[in-house]
Amino acid sequence: MYPYIQSRFYRSPEVLLSLPYDEKIDMWSLGCILYELHTGDPIFNGTSEQDQVFKISETFGLPPDYMMEKGRKTSSYFKKPAQGMAWERVATTKVYKGVRQRKLSEMLGSNTGGPGGRRKKELGHAPSDYGKFEDLLSRLLDIDPKTRMTPSEALDHEFLRRSESSSSKAPAAPSSSSAAAAAGGAPAAAGGGMDVDAPQDGSWSGGQKRSVSGRASV
């Protein structure tokens, strides 16, 4: 097991907790990459592993008990005030939103025209299209690897199918069975029109080297 198998922005909860991992970590990375391809910004841009874990918890909550109890790094992020009480984040000088208080729909601008409102009224960017995208991301970014979406489930997701709001020239849903195909096809297939949004200054934020799998390149 390698503690730095993934670049921090794309590091899965099981790796952050120093738990055994398998190919499910790539599905987590894929979810992070799909969000970034559409918005131009990393979904979780932690400056440290603790910061990364806390930012994940703001949107998707805390890991289940079995992960907390077995994780070798759990004490770096969470504590149990007393026996029988719920886990909570350790104290820190940095202020974070409450658990699950950072809503994915608001981050994507699902009901306000996409990131920064830049896609308002564009084909394939209706709230219903974003609803499908949100569902795909939430299943790819399931904290629990036991219930996280598989590659075959991702390729069969309705987000990758044409919708009534898509154009007649929209590309067909990808037929490849690889997760890499999903990474390349999903942003362009969102309702037939959802595409990549680069930051306004033309640069990608974060400053880290990226690969399709989210694996560290150094």
- 84 or 16, which is more confident: 16
pLDDT in tens, 162-179: 655 554 444 444 443 444
Entry pTM: 0.77
CA distances from 111 to 61, 114, 117 (A): 22, 7, 9
Spatial separation of the C-alpha atoms in residues 36 and 30, rounded to whole Å = 10
pLDDT at residue 166 in the model: 52
Average pLDDT rounded to a whole number, residues 86-100: 97
Spatial CA neighbour of 24 closest among 111, 139, 145, 124? 145
- pLDDT reading at 98 higher than 90: yes
Q: Residue 205: in which H helix or E strand, if any?
A: none
- pLDDT reading at 2 higher than 90: no
Query: Which DSSP string corresponds to 60-107?
Result: H-PPPHHHHHH-TTGGGTEE-SSTTSPPEEPP-SS--PPTT-S-HHHH
- pLDDT reading at 128 higher than 50: yes
pLDDT in tens, 33-59: 999 999 999 999 999 999 999 999 999
pLDDT at residue 3 in the model: 66
Q: Residue 209: in which H helix or E strand, if any?
A: none
pLDDT at residue 52 in the model: 98
The residues that bridge with 78 in the sheet, in sequence order, are 89
pLDDT in tens, 180-217: 333 333 333 444 445 444 444 444 444 343 333 344 43
pLDDT at residue 95 in the model: 97
pLDDT at residue 30 in the model: 97
Amino acid present at 137:
L
Most confident of 116-120, 145-149, 210-214: 145-149
Average pLDDT rounded to a whole number, residues 69-89: 94
Query: Which DSSP string corresponds to 136-157?
Result: HHHHHT-S-TTTSPPHHHHHTS
Spatial CA neighbour of 189 closest among 149, 157, 148, 152? 157
